[in-house]
Amino acid sequence: MKRITFIKIHLYLSGVAIVFMGLMATSGALHLLAGNEDVESKNVKTITLESDMDKDQLTTLFENELKSIDENYSFDYIKGSNKSLTARPTSRTYYTIKVQENQALIEKHIPSIRLSLMELHKGHGPRTSRPILGILGLIVIGAVLSGLWLGWSSPQFRKITIATGISGALIYFGLFLL
């Protein structure tokens, strides 16, 4: 393959990857530097339970209550246990149900923009976003590997490619030792 073709491939991959990498880096940096994200929570309903419920019974109760609370609300799936369930995705307004003694508390949660970004970052967005984010991740890997090859294959960039690759690896693996 000609070098100019490889450069074009690298630029196409990088052009697509830059927005994805920017959003992932921004959400991660904000989470690490600015602390926990905000979510507005409010109790919507309290239900008295007459007996203990298993996860399937609680899920059915939760689904039925969500229909009566907000008929326009839609969710992809429900995740949790027999004591606590969450309607996903959590990157937008979502509901939870928590069992405490003989009561089930249903809460509505409205995430901040930062929390919505972080939830997407963690893969807690809509199920349809997962394969898209996976493909974007592969595009990022392709952009990085093609850039590495381009740097390695050019004698004038080989030393800087090696130096930056080694320094990046040392920083990354050094974090495991902390």
| CB of 87 closer than 8 Å to CB of 94 | yes
pTM given for the model: 0.77
CB atoms inside a 10 Å sphere around CB 91: 20
Residue bearing tokens 């890997």 = 141
What's the CA gap between 44 and 24, in Å, rounded? 33
- Walk along the chain (178 residues) and give the pLDDT tens digit of each residue: 888 998 999 999 999 999 889 988 998 898 889 888 889 999 999 999 988 889 999 999 999 999 999 989 999 999 999 899 999 999 999 999 999 988 999 999 999 999 998 888 888 889 898 899 899 999 999 999 999 999 999 999 999 999 999 999 999 999 988 8
